[in-house]
Homo-oligomer: A and B are copies of this chain.
Amino acid sequence: MSDIGIKQLAKNLGISTASVSRALSNPDRVSTAMRKKVQAAAKLAGYRPNKMGASLRTSKTRNIIVIIPDISDTFNSGVIRSLERTAANRGYAVLFGDTQGIRELEITYGDMVQTRQADGIICFSHRLPFTDEDMASESFKMPPLVNSCEYIDADQAGGHVVPLVTIDNVKASRELTQHLIDLGHVDIAVITGDISSPSTTQRLQGYQEAMLSSGLAVQQQLIYEGTYTLEAGSTITKEILLAKKRPTAIFCMCDETALGCLYALKEHNFSIPHDISVVGFDDIKFAQYFSPALTTIAQPVAEIGQQCVEVLLDIIDGKEVKKPMVVLPHQLVIRDSTGPVPDR
């Protein structure tokens, strides 16, 4: 672990730096004898190549930057884990930028490709991490980027198509709503995520489609605008309980919200699903341990992470991207938080 470089190594062996470099990172280019000699010496000396030097020369960093609003979000962290794993297998390291939804931080992290600290971006937000100014510039070139789970508007992207890995939110939401309808529910409240997020819009659309196609009215007063948080689930549920006409089911657009919802319901002595049914979305690892275990949509977390990396690396490698949008299968998971509509 001494601070030895390729130069010193070459000098010690009485050979050129070119041979050392080749023996280590392009072994076919040298004779077996040379290769063995150099590799042995390198190992002995504890030689570690300085990646900065290499990166500078090759203009490849083998880093991926992941831009994410909240790294502690349970659903996201599942995807992250898979990302990281896949990337590592392909020889890439993953940098994370937690933006807390702050625009300025998004920009900072988005800049890391421009400053050559990363080769590409995986983004978990519905906003691109570049200034409008930059994007408007005609010299703007979109760096390798794929979006996870959140659709980005072509308008916002200045006409660029942004590759996306996601499930079909509309369809999943429709199925979930249909499940409630099949149980006889008619008054189904919704606690949305941030409405500026397309995933929320899509899930809302699925809900509406399911209602309408079953001949049920979409009651605007049952749609509550929230966020993807525990707190939103808890506070909005209380609001729902205060309504003159109570719904018999609550559709929470993420599992954390559903947990908050269950909490508030139990606090007010509602029995689930006897009095009110609750569904979530995502199937985070905690969902099956909630009481009652949560009916939800399972997203293929591992595949999402993996595909994000695969697609991104294809772009980085300059390969033709066959599918700008990868839609992965979700699954309706029926557990104990949903039941038939109660008699009135």
Binding site for B on A (CB under 8 A): 1-2, 46, 48-53, 55-56, 59, 61, 63, 70-72, 74, 77-78, 80-81, 84-85, 88, 93-98, 100, 105, 108, 111-112, 114-117, 134, 137, 139-141, 230, 234, 259-260, 262-263, 266, 285-286, 289, 291
Contacts and interface: CB of A to CB of B under 8 A. Distances in A.
Q: Looking at A1, A260, A262, which has the most chain B CB atoms within 10 Å of its CB?
A: A1
A39 B97 CA distance: 27
Q: Looking at A100, A234, A263, which has the most chain B CB atoms within 10 Å of its CB?
A: A263
A46 B291 CA distance: 54
A70 B81 CA distance: 8
Contacts of A111: 48
A262 B290 CA distance: 9
Q: List the 10 closest pairs (A to B, CB-CB), nearest first.
A: A72-B77, A48-B114, A2-B139, A52-B56, A263-B289, A52-B55, A84-B98, A50-B116, A51-B115, A95-B95
Nearest to A263: B289
B291 A262 contact: yes
Contacts of A259: 286, 289
A137 B52 contact: no
